Amino acid sequence: MDDQALEQLFRDLESDRVERKASDADRNKIRQAVCAFANDLPNYRQPGVIFIGVNDDGSCASLSITDDLLLRLAEMRSDGNILPFPVLTVGKKTIDGCDVVAVVVEPSDAPPVRFNGRVWIRVGPRRASATAEEERRLSEKRRAGDLPFDLRPMPSATIRDLNLNVFQQSYLSFVLAPEVLEENQRSLSQQLASVRFTTPEPEACPTVLGLLVVGNDPTQFIPGSYVQFLRIDGTELGDPIKDQKEIRGTMIDILRMLDDVLHINISVASDITSASLEIQQPDYPIEALRQLARNAILHRAYDVTNAPVKVYWFSDRIEIQNPGGLFGQVTRDNFGKGATDYRNPHLAGVMKDLGYVQRFGYGIPTAKRALVKNGNPPPEFLLDDAYITVIVRRAT
């Protein structure tokens, strides 16, 4: 959006495309507005703008625009509260002598967009929580050809290929706010479509996301959607294998079983420093392994290869490899330095809903801190066009 268009919206009344805030004191209200503009219920297919630093009547609030303020607002894009991730830009503008922050929100290609489990829409100059009918209308706006792979429909699958018990008992309560479930007595098919596990009715079919998360047998449709675990008695691939597993099932099953396998294989040494003090030192910190393994599952390419995520546990190191190279804005130069992008953005949202991701973009820094604290060397990353491998060496 150019400056002329911004100025025109700034001088207009609050509407379906404009909201004003005197400050960022209530960032949840700003997130609601971002969510509403991303959903674009009127289907304008034009961005909405939140002007911060201007009062409701259009007068200047004389807000001090700092780099810290701009950073806080920009972090709303990927802090995990708004899912799927909105496309927005944040910048300082001076309009009619007033310094403001312009948060420009693009319409989403994959509505409905939720803030903390609730869908927000714009009704004229006010925000509102979407009704079941409005959510249905938003779902029908999706354009399958423009969607990331994890939202693509899988026409060869049917609803019978989804584990509906797992969906209702192990997932649904995590993704939707309790009051939403209570208020809107949706049918099962509507619930599946609302979380993007199926396409909307009347010709509902499972999406890749639905098959990965609650599929009866995801590998029937996405052959590489499992984890291959090898415990090797030596330092080379040709050395004897002590244990091997193919960790399969729903995403919920895989994440739970992988945690168990990692925990079981960690060795803990005891060092008695005095008669009453025993220090236990694991050869690997479980938190680091969990973060790195979950990153591999989250960022792998499910559409271009049938290779699984690999976890190879040697006597002196662990190698975790995910198929698929760097993606989006992440490059060899900024990898591991705070740059984030998501090949599977909706799978990322599911993993956050389930509690396996706490904050987006913090997996590698968290793993590095855990390794340093435990006395392990820093992780080593091998970046290839076709895969990424992380090597974690044993604590000495």
Least confident among 16-25, 61-70, 195-204: 195-204
Stretch 194-214: mean pLDDT, rounded?
A: 90
Tell whether 208 and 155 lie within a shared domain.
yes
Number of domains making up the chain: 3
Q: At what angle do helices 251-265 and 345-353 cross, to 10 degrees?
A: 70
Residue 222 lies in a domain: no
228: tokens are 């291959």
Alpha-carbon span 111 to 117, nearest angstrom: 13
Q: Is residue 133 part of a domain?
A: no
Enclosing H/E stretch for 121: strand 118-123
CATH code of 232's domain:
3.30.565.60
Tokens of 184: 């809107």
* Residues 250 and 337 placed together within one structural domain of the fold: yes
Q: Given a cut of 60, is residue 243 above it in pLDDT?
A: yes
What are the pLDDT digits (tens) for 135-154?
Answer: 877 876 665 546 788 988 99
139 within a domain of the structure (yes/no)? no
User: What is the model's pLDDT at position 359?
Assistant: 64
Residues 211 and 232 in one domain: no
314, 199: one domain = no
C-alpha angle 352/257/361, rounded to 5°? 30
One domain for residues 372 and 257: yes
Residue 170 falls within a domain, yes or no?
Answer: yes
Q: Do 206 and 337 reside in the same domain of the chain? A: no
With bands split at pLDDT 50, 70 and 90, how would you rate the model's confidence at 282? very high
Give the Å distances, CA to CA, from 110 to 82, 128, 195, 240, 285. Answer: 13, 19, 11, 48, 38
Percent of the chain with pLDDT strictly greater than 70? 92
pLDDT band at 309 (very low <50, low <70, confident <90, very high): very high
Please state, for a pLDDT cut of 90, what percent of the chain lies above it: 54
88 and 50 together in one domain: yes
Q: For CA atoms 112, 248, 300, 229, give the dihedral sign.
A: positive
In a domain, 96, yes or no: yes
The pLDDT score that the predictor gives to residue 12 is 79
Task: Report d(CA 148, CA 84) in Å as an integer.
Answer: 11
CATH number of the structural domain spanning residue 33:
3.30.950.30
Interacting residues of 29 by C-beta distance below 8 A, sequence separation 6+ = 21
Do 296 and 176 reside in the same domain of the chain?
no
What pLDDT does residue 190 have? 85
- Whether 357 and 315 map to the same domain: the answer is yes
Q: Are residues 28 and 122 in the same domain?
A: yes
Q: Range of 212's domain? A: 144-216
Q: Which of 99, 128, 157 is the last residue of a domain?
A: 128
Please state whether the predicted TM-score (pTM) of the whole model is above 0.85: no
**Domain-embedded: residue 26:** yes
Indicate whether 63 and 32 sit together in one domain.
Answer: yes
Residue-wise pLDDT for 78-134, tens only, equals 888 898 889 999 999 999 999 999 999 999 888 889 998 899 998 777 788 888 778
Tell me: do 90 and 151 sit in the same domain. Answer: no
Residue 138 lies in a domain: no
